[in-house]
Amino acid sequence: MMTHLPRKITRRAFLITSSKVVLGVSGVLLGDTALFYYGAVHGKKLDDPATRKIPSSFVKVGAVEQLQAMTGYEKVFYTATIEDAWVKTPKQGFVYVTKDERGALVILSPACTHLGCSVEPATEAQRSRKKELFFWCPCHGAEFDIVGTSVGMELPELERYKPLLIEGDVYVDISTPEKRA
């Protein structure tokens, strides 16, 4: 029976292998240090209000004080630029700003969830028939309450946008409606 003994390592092979390991570990440590330094320097610039830039898809809805004093709804028109990779698409439209029963801001898309037509505020005559009715779709008659919930029909709710507070103003990211369950 023949047994294989481990190969004898030469001094030269040991030194070459050891130096490769030391150089590799040094390179990793130096690279991490450089990345942390780069992040620290550029991260401070993002915290500086003078260098902070609001993304082009964010739309200013109004000042916090103005919106807190609001009763009913406001129709807020906007112009934004949606950036998807290298493609920039200008977008114009409007959102409805209302409040729920607790007084929290609700920012609704005007697009009806049935056919995509723009919903409109209900007239006094329509509201006298149904007290919960607030918005209706002129294309097919879908009805929604003040927070965008369907009234009388089985339809998904109007899409909402999450209000973002930035330096005393309320913004929404028009490119990403809030996901609701």
Q: Are 110 and 118 a contacting pair, CB within 8 Å?
A: yes
CB atoms within 10 A of CB 136: 21
Question: Residues 84-139: pLDDT tens digits?
Answer: 888 888 989 999 998 888 888 899 999 888 788 899 998 888 888 888 888 988 88
Q: Which of 88, 20, 32 is nearest to 55 (CA)?
A: 88
Question: Residues 61-97: pLDDT tens digits?
Answer: 888 888 888 888 889 998 888 888 888 889 899 999 9
What separation in angstroms does the CA of 69 have from each of 8, 45, 98, 104?
Answer: 85, 35, 11, 12
DSSP H helices, the chain, are 11-47, 64-68, 124-129
pTM: 0.67
Give the distance from CA 108 to its chain's centroid. Answer: 15
Of 45-54, 59-68, 142-151, 170-179, where does mean pLDDT reach its minimum?
45-54
In the chain, what is the greatest distance between 2 CA atoms, to the nearest angstrom? 103
What is the Cα–Cα distance from 113 to 119, expressed in whole angstroms?
10
